[in-house]
């Protein structure tokens, strides 16, 4: 989109973008400065993380307003951040200098856009970033764990050692405790991480990773004080596969000093989050009042923005406290798979990936049953007997993959087996004998719908692991209640895969408020790739479907008015939001975009209002519920306007 088109967008949106860009650029500059100063690795990691988040948010914002040079530049810079975040030591001077230039270039791009001047090109800098990243990745850490850092790294670390310390009362009496150990290790080198663990008999153990200048000289003396050394295996600490997406708080748990850990009841955190949610609503009302007031309240507006920032920080802080590794549920799966495979005479290897991905504690608790069900289903329905597999030319041992990753503000969990896939014809036939209607040529979505019907089962008699015909319905209901979505893909004889997409945080989401006629809905921002004005001439009719041609792409169109059974008045201005989801892309055409709003998400728990296309509801401070649209369902074309809705409205 050219800057000319962009000016036609609502100025409010652009104002938001400029204000936020200033904020994020400020953060990036501040943190880059902090990174130049010597500090503990944990502080450097936190500064890098803040920098990375700001860069990531800027990328999303730039994409939304169509500022592609800024988007491309932040994207390239993100790659460098990811790499730096994986390093045990802080970024070197070259990296910092490069990132400083990225910030400068971004500033220039945003300023040019604001003044509607030609956007300065960033291609050279992007190329430099790519080369720099390539240079770092071509020299991975050596086997002894020496980090691939430049000369200006804060520690001239040559090797990493792991020290396991087991405190005892006897040692404590001699003054050897966790604090004295930290001090002594600090003399050897830089403590990279400290991980507490509880041993089988309830004893505590601490595992320190230390970047040492020289290997510990006299292991015997250390051992007498309850410390055992071994060289660290760098690749075990940071496996490559963990780099799929930005982690919300990378490795932060590694940096917690064990003596400072507090256990908190989840209900207390809920209460904190609820209060924060109320404050967010109050602030929105305040912003409304200021905006509607005829007087100029620039000073008040500034305070209001600052309050908004603090509230976001508070919310993020509470969110982080609530996050736990999804490994909490993954850990039980090897046993489940082993037992079930043994009972059914099958051979299954479970591959777990991304178990460190963090997600809300409440979500993890609620996920236990659905995940268990899906894993059991995979073993009992998906995986074939070894003889059948061999006959089909597959290895006798099946592979079941369970993986988690963070994508934007969602966590995606995948359960994939390389078994028999799904026999669509059999499913449809089975559905018909049970009186469940199913289309003759079902899509993956249709099959999932059938599988999730209460009462559907492919087994005539309930077996031990699956087949009670309630499981999938419960799986889908639970995921919907958590504000997430379930999708499914299967290839006959090759694989069956279930994808669970869950919000990282339950309570608050960044949304765009959109309208159609008198209806206002909220649309989660993370799915919005672009917003552009459209005229009826931009929308083409191809057979029965409407499409929008956008930058050479043909996108299916869904009108929000249609969802509510309203027709579109001819010639009225419209706005399209290009949504990017797991189910593909769709252009959602609305009357107007009312700007952005942080909303407190409330799940629609009652089956009466659990309908496709709607994921929850919120309230904006005036006592009226506003529906939150389900972008994935809209893109999946699962939502058709209902004639009934039209009748009711015209009645």
Partner 1 sequence: MSNTESYILFELAGTAYAVRSRDVLHIEMLEHITPVPNSAPWVEGVVFSRGQVIPAINLRVRFGLPNEARTARTRLVFIRHEERTIALIVDSAREFRSIATESIRPLGETALGISGHHVAGVATLNQQLVLVLDLPSVLRTAQAESAPLVAPLSN
Q: What angle do CA 398, 401, 404 make, to 5 degrees?
A: 175
- Is residue 437 part of the contact set for partner 1 (CB under 8 A)? yes
- Is residue 586 part of the contact set for partner 1 (CB under 8 A)? no
Identify which range of 204-212, 537-545, 550-558, 611-619 contacts partner 1 by CB under 8 A: 611-619
**Closer to partner 1 by Cβ: residue 89 or 627:** 627
User: 378: Cβ–Cβ under 8 A, 6 or more apart, which residues?
Assistant: 400, 415, 417, 419, 496
Least distance in angstroms from the C-beta of 372 to partner 1:
23
- Is residue 639 part of the contact set for partner 1 (CB under 8 A)? yes
Least distance in angstroms from the C-beta of 187 to partner 1:
55
- Is residue 602 part of the contact set for partner 1 (CB under 8 A)? yes
Please give, one letter per residue, the 3-state secondary structure of 312-333. Answer: HHHHHHHHHHHEEECHHHHCCH
Least distance in angstroms from the C-beta of 437 to partner 1:
4
Least distance in angstroms from the C-beta of 638 to partner 1:
7
Distance CA 495, CA 499 (A): 13
Would you give the DSSP letter of residue 464? S
- Is residue 440 part of the contact set for partner 1 (CB under 8 A)? no
**Closer to partner 1 by Cβ: residue 356 or 453:** 453
The only residue of 299, 537, 608, 650 in contact with partner 1, by rule CB under 8 A: 608
- Is residue 427 part of the contact set for partner 1 (CB under 8 A)? no
- Is residue 651 part of the contact set for partner 1 (CB under 8 A)? yes
How many C-alpha atoms does 510 have within 13 Å on its Cβ side?
17
Distance CA 609, CA 614 (A): 9
The only residue of 563, 579, 586, 590 in contact with partner 1, by rule CB under 8 A: 563
- Is residue 468 part of the contact set for partner 1 (CB under 8 A)? no
Least distance in angstroms from the C-beta of 593 to partner 1:
19
Least distance in angstroms from the C-beta of 607 to partner 1:
5
- Is residue 115 part of the contact set for partner 1 (CB under 8 A)? no
Please give, one letter per residue, the 3-state secondary structure of 614-636. Answer: EEEEEECCCCCEEEEECHHHHHC
Number of residues that bind partner 1 (CB under 8 A): 43
- Is residue 567 part of the contact set for partner 1 (CB under 8 A)? no
The only residue of 68, 519, 592, 637 in contact with partner 1, by rule CB under 8 A: 519
- Is residue 454 part of the contact set for partner 1 (CB under 8 A)? yes
- Is residue 607 part of the contact set for partner 1 (CB under 8 A)? yes
How many C-alpha atoms does 158 have within 13 Å on its Cβ side?
5
Identify which range of 29-37, 179-187, 203-211, 562-570 contacts partner 1 by CB under 8 A: 562-570
Identify which range of 11-19, 74-82, 112-120, 561-569 contacts partner 1 by CB under 8 A: 561-569
**Closer to partner 1 by Cβ: residue 411 or 428:** 428
Query: In this structure, what token pair is assigned to residue 548?
Result: 């929008």
- Is residue 287 part of the contact set for partner 1 (CB under 8 A)? no
Distance CA 99, CA 94 (A): 9
Structural contact between residues 556 and 565, judged by C-beta atoms closer than 8 angstroms: no
Identify which range of 181-189, 452-460, 505-513, 582-590 contacts partner 1 by CB under 8 A: 452-460
**Closer to partner 1 by Cβ: residue 401 or 453:** 453
Would you give the DSSP letter of residue 382? I
Identify which range of 47-55, 250-258, 312-320, 617-625 contacts partner 1 by CB under 8 A: 617-625
Q: Which residue has the tokens 């999804």?
A: 326
Question: CA 585, 590, 593, 599 torsion: positive or negative?
Answer: negative
Question: What is the residue-wise DSSP string for 402-438?
Answer: EEEEEETTEEEEEEEE-S----HHHHHHHHHHTT---
- Is residue 450 part of the contact set for partner 1 (CB under 8 A)? yes
User: 113: Cβ–Cβ under 8 A, 6 or more apart, which residues?
Assistant: 3, 6, 65, 67, 70, 119
Identify which range of 155-163, 211-219, 433-441, 498-506 contacts partner 1 by CB under 8 A: 433-441
Residue 191: φ, ψ to 5° = -80, 115
Least distance in angstroms from the C-beta of 563 to partner 1:
5
- Is residue 641 part of the contact set for partner 1 (CB under 8 A)? yes
- Is residue 26 part of the contact set for partner 1 (CB under 8 A)? no
Nearest to 9 by CA among 584, 410, 579, 594: 594
Distance CA 429, CA 447 (A): 12
Nearest to 478 by CA among 608, 614, 603: 603
Please give, one letter per residue, the 3-state secondary structure of 550-605. Answer: ECCEEEEEEEHHHHCCCCCCCCCCEEEEEEEECCEEEEEEECEEEEEEEEECECCC
Least distance in angstroms from the C-beta of 370 to partner 1:
19
- Is residue 614 part of the contact set for partner 1 (CB under 8 A)? yes
Identify which range of 104-112, 191-199, 399-407, 451-459 contacts partner 1 by CB under 8 A: 451-459
Instruction: Give, as ranges, the residues between 233 and 262 that touch partner 1 (CB under 8 A).
Output: none
Q: Contact positions toward partner 1, by CB under 8 A?
A: 434-438, 449-450, 453-455, 519, 563-565, 602, 604-614, 616-617, 619, 623-627, 638-639, 641-642, 644-645, 648-649, 651
């Amino acid at each position: 989109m050219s800057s000319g088109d962009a000016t036609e967008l609502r100025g409010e949106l652009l104002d938001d973008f400029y204000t936020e860009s200033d904020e994020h650029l400020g953060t990036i500059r501040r943190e880059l400065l902090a990174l130049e100063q010597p500090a503990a690795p944990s502080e450097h990691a936190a500064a890098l993380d803040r920098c990375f988040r700001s860069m990531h948010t800027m990328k999303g914002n730039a994409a939304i307003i169509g500022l592609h040079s800024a988007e491309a530049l932040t994207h390239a810079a993100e790659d460098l951040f990811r790499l730096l975040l994986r390093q045990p030591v802080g970024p070197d001077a070259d990296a910092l200098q490069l990132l400083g230039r990225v910030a400068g270039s971004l500033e220039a791009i945003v300023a040019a856009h604001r003044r509607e001047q030609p956007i300065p090109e960033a291609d050279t800098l992007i190329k430099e970033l790519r080369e720099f990243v390539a240079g770092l990745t071509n020299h991975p850490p050596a086997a002894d764990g020496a980090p691939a850092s430049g000369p200006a790294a804060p520690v001239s670390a040559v090797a990493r050692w792991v020290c396991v310390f087991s405190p005892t009362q006897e040692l404590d009496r001699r003054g050897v405790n966790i604090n004295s150990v930290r001090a002594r290790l600090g003399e050897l080198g830089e403590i990279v991480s400290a991980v507490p663990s509880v041993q089988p008999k309830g004893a505590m153990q601490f595992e320190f990773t230390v970047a040492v200048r020289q290997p510990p000289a006299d292991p015997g003396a250390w051992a007498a004080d309850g410390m055992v050394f071994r060289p660290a295996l760098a690749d075990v600490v940071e496996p490559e596969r963990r780099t799929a997406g930005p982690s919300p708080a990378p490795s932060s748990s590694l940096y917690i000093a064990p003596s400072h850990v507090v256990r908190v009841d989840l209900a207390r955190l809920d209460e904190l989050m609820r209060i924060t949610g109320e404050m967010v609503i109050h602030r929105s009302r305040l912003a409304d009042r200021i905006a509607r007031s005829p007087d100029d309240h620039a000073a008040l507006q500034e305070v209001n923005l600052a309050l908004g920032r603090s509230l976001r920080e508070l919310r993020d802080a509470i969110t982080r406290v609530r996050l736990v590794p999804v490994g909490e549920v993954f850990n039980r799966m090897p046993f489940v798979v082993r037992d079930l495979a043994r009972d059914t005479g099958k051979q299954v290897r479970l591959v777990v990936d991304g178990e460190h991905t963090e997600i809300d504690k409440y979500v993890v608790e609620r996920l236990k049953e659905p995940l268990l069900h899906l894993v059991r289903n995979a073993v009992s329905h998906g995986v074939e007997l070894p003889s059948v597999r061999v006959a089909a030319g597959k290895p006798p041992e099946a592979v079941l993959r369970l993986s988690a990753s963070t994508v934007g503000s969602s966590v995606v969990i995948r359960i994939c087996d390389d078994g028999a896939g799904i026999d669509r014809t059999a499913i449809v036939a089975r559905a018909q004998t049970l009186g469940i209607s199913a289309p003759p040529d079902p899509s993956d979505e249709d099959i999932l719908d059938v599988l999730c019907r209460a009462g559907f089962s492919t087994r005539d008699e309930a077996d031990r692991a699956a087949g009670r015909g309630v499981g999938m319905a419960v799986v889908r209901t639970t995921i919907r209640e958590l504000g997430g979505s379930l999708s499914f893909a299967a290839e006959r004889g090759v694989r069956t895969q279930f994808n669970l997409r869950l919000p990282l945080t339950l309570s608050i989401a960044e949304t765009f408020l959109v309208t159609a006629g008198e209806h206002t809905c909220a649309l989660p921002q993370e799915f919005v790739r672009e917003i552009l004005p459209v005229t009826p001439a931009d929308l083409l009719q191809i057979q029965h479907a409407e499409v929008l041609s956008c930058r050479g792409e043909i996108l299916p169109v869904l009108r929000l008015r249609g969802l509510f059974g309203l027709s579109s008045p001819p010639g009225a201005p419209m706005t399209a939001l290009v949504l990017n989801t797991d189910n593909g892309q769709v252009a959602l055409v609305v009357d107007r975009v009312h700007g952005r709003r942080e909303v407190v998400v409330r799940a629609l728990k009652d089956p009466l209002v659990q309908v496709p296309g709607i994921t929850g509801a919120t309230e904006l401070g005036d006592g009226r519920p506003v529906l939150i649209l389900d972008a994935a369902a809209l893109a999946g074309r699962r939502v058709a306007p209902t004639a009934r809705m039209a009748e009711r409205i015209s009645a």
